[in-house]
Structures are given as structure tokens and as C-alpha cells.
């Protein structure tokens, strides 16, 4: 995005890296096996994404600060948690877009 030749001398858009919520444990046998260890491993994502964002000069938001995955499979979000992320991102994006 930063290297693209934008028309009218427009600047490249700002980039926002969003870390996903951590994987939660599930009692579903299939998903439990599929995502084994994901709960622990996913706790490292937000700090790594934050460091990357800082390194490359991007915005950063940790979706796990406002949402959590559903216990059905441990990785997806329900409507409420999706809405929470949208509401929390609104002010961040407004600042980034200077709205």
C-alpha cells in the first residue's frame, strides 16, 4: 500500500493491524483436537502484532481487549463480540482518517 502510486498525489492510506481475540477452550471434541494449544499460543499474538505495528509505523488494536471467541469452537465470534470490536474500532479509525 505504501509503495503504490496514488493519483492526485494522495498519500498512502494508514494501516491498522488488528490482533484477533485469543482462542478459547472448547468442549467440542473435533475443535478441541484441531485447536489444541491454540489458547496458549494465541496469547502471544497481540504483543507480537503490536511490536510489528510499531516497527513498521502502523496503527495497532488488540481486539481481544473488547471481545472473546465463542466456546462452540473457540475461534469464531458471536454477534455481540463482533459488535464490540466494531464499536471499539470506530474512534481509532476516526482518528486515523482524521474525521
**Does a structural domain hold residue 71?**
yes
**Does a structural domain hold residue 9?**
no
- CATH number of the domain within which 29 lies: 3.40.50.1110
DSSP H or E segment with residue 50: helix 45-56
Question: For residue 45, what pLDDT is reported?
Answer: 96
Please compute the mean of the pLDDT values over residues 1-10 and round it to a whole number. Answer: 83
Please compute the mean of the pLDDT values over residues 9-25 and round it to a whole number. Answer: 90
pLDDT tens string 48-62:
999 999 999 999 999
**Domain with 57 in it:** 15-97
**Does a structural domain hold residue 5?**
no
pLDDT tens string 58-79:
999 999 999 999 999 999 999 9
**Does a structural domain hold residue 86?**
yes
| Maximum Cα–Cα distance across the chain | 55
Q: How far apart are CA 9 and CA 23, in angstroms?
A: 42
Question: For residue 76, what pLDDT is reported?
Answer: 94
Flag whether pLDDT at 25 surpasses 90: no
Q: Please provide the distance, in angstroms rounded to a whole number, between the alpha carbons at the two ends of the chain.
A: 21
- Give the total number of structural domains in the chain: 1
**Does a structural domain hold residue 3?**
no
Unique residue bearing C-alpha cell 481509532? 92
Q: What is the 3-state composition of the chain as percent helix, strand, coil, each rounded to the nearest 5?
A: 50, 10, 45
The pTM for the full model equals: 0.85
Flag whether pLDDT at 84 surpasses 90: yes
Amino acid at each position: 500500500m505504501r509503495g503504490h502510486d496514488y493519483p492526485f498525489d494522495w498519500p498512502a492510506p494508514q494501516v491498522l493491524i488488528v490482533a484477533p481475540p485469543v482462542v478459547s477452550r472448547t468442549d467440542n471434541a473435533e475443535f478441541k483436537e484441531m485447536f489444541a494449544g491454540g489458547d496458549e499460543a494465541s496469547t502471544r499474538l497481540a504483543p507480537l502484532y503490536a511490536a510489528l505495528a510499531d516497527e513498521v509505523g502502523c496503527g495497532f488494536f488488540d481486539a481481544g481487549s473488547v471481545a472473546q471467541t465463542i466456546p462452540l469452537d473457540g475461534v469464531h465470534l458471536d454477534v455481540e463480540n463482533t459488535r464490540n470490536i466494531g464499536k471499539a474500532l470506530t474512534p481509532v479509525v476516526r482518528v486515523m482518517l482524521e474525521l
